């Protein structure tokens, strides 16, 4: 059962999430050498990234990777990796080690194959996974209209190539099984257009309609929704 935390506005939700995530990662780093933060891209996480970058943390012991990536190189404006580098890995946070999903492979399928040993080498459980929710209910790059949706929801493989009909680029997405290999999950959602969608996502209905439900309904990992209208 997801915990719903409501804030007055997106900045306040981002600041609260940054405190939550920093506390979670600090707890890991008190008892282990390294921990992993998995973040999403898109537009919503920018204020969160800036707030988290300002948090005192042993950044040099942190590994940052992505829940999903668009099949574009890091100099492309749609790159999630570029977003993270620009807004999160700044100042002291630049000491964190970034593990990108994009590589100069010929296809997203080849990149997914190449990522298997890279992701397997990351310490588990991850310290924190931070997700967003697209306006069609996608989470990471598990899109409702993607032919690979069932695979993404069911596979034990860590990552898959996704070809969503509605999105401008093919994607790489961590599988649901991998997103759930975390001590904690947070979903950051803001803005009026997503209010009704979040209400629907928290209600009944098939996961295939709104894949974010797969995260909200699971009971294996605590999940908090940081929500602002």
Rounded to the nearest whole angstrom, what is the least distance from the CB of residue 59 to ligand LXAUTJHC in the complex?
A: 22
> If DSSP codes are grouped into helix, strand and coil, which group holds residue 124?
coil
Q: CA 70, CA 72: separation in Å to the nearest integer?
A: 6
**What is the CB neighbour count within 10 angstroms for residue 45?**
23
- Applying CB under 6 A, does 40 fall inside the site for ligand LXAUTJHC? yes
The contact mask relative to ligand LXAUTJHC for 79-108 (x = CB under 6 A, - = no) is -x----------------------------
Which residue, 107, 34, 28, 108, is CA-closest to 68?
108
Which residue, 65, 81, 68, 63, is CA-closest to 25?
63
Stretch that binds ligand LXAUTJHC, among 3-11, 19-27, 38-46, 217-225 (CB under 6 A): 38-46
Edge to edge, what strands does the sheet with 159-162 contain?
A: 68-70, 171-174, 159-162
- Phi and psi torsions of 165, nearest 5°: -60, -35
Helices (runs of H) and strands (runs of E) counted in the chain: 8, 10
- Applying CB under 6 A, does 134 fall inside the site for ligand LXAUTJHC? yes
The contact mask relative to ligand LXAUTJHC for 41-80 (x = CB under 6 A, - = no) is xxxx----------------------xx-----------x
Rounded to the nearest whole angstrom, what is the least distance from the CB of residue 10 to ligand LXAUTJHC in the complex?
A: 10
Secondary structure E strands in 83-158: 97-99, 128-131
Rounded to the nearest whole angstrom, what is the least distance from the CB of residue 183 to ligand LXAUTJHC in the complex?
A: 20
- Which residue has the closest beta carbon to ligand LXAUTJHC? 42
Rounded to the nearest whole angstrom, what is the least distance from the CB of residue 24 to ligand LXAUTJHC in the complex?
A: 19
**Residues that contact ligand LXAUTJHC, how many (by CB under 6 A):** 11
Q: Residue 125, preceding bond cis, omega within 30 degrees?
A: yes
Q: Which residues bind ligand LXAUTJHC (CB under 6 A)?
A: 40-44, 67-68, 80, 132, 134, 141
């Amino acid at each position: 059962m997801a915990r719903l935390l409501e804030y007055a506005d997106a900045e306040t939700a981002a600041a609260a999430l940054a405190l939550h995530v920093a506390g979670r990662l600090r707890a890991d780093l008190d008892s282990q050498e390294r921990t992993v933060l998995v973040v999403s891209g898109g537009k919503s996480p920018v204020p969160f990234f800036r707030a988290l970058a300002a948090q005192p943390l042993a950044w040099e012991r942190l590994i940052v990777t992505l829940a999903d990536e668009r099949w574009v190189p890091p100099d492309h404006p749609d790159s999630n990796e570029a977003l993270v580098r620009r807004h999160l890995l700044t100042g002291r946070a630049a000491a964190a080690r970034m593990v990108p999903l994009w590589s100069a492979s010929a296809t997203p399928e080849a990149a997914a194959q190449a990522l298997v040993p890279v992701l397997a080498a990351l310490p588990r459980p991850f310290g924190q996974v931070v997700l967003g929710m697209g306006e069609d209910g996608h989470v990471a790059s598990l899109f409702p209209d993607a032919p690979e949706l069932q695979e993404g929801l069911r596979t034990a493989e860590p990552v898959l190539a996704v070809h969503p009909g509605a999105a401008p680029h093919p994607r790489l997405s961590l599988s649901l099984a991998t997103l759930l290999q975390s001590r904690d999950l947070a979903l950051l959602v803001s803005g009026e257009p997503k209010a009704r969608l979040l209400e629907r996502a928290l209600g009944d209905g098939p996961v295939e309609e709104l894949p974010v439900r797969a995260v909200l309904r699971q009971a294996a990992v605590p999940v908090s929704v940081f929500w602002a209208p």
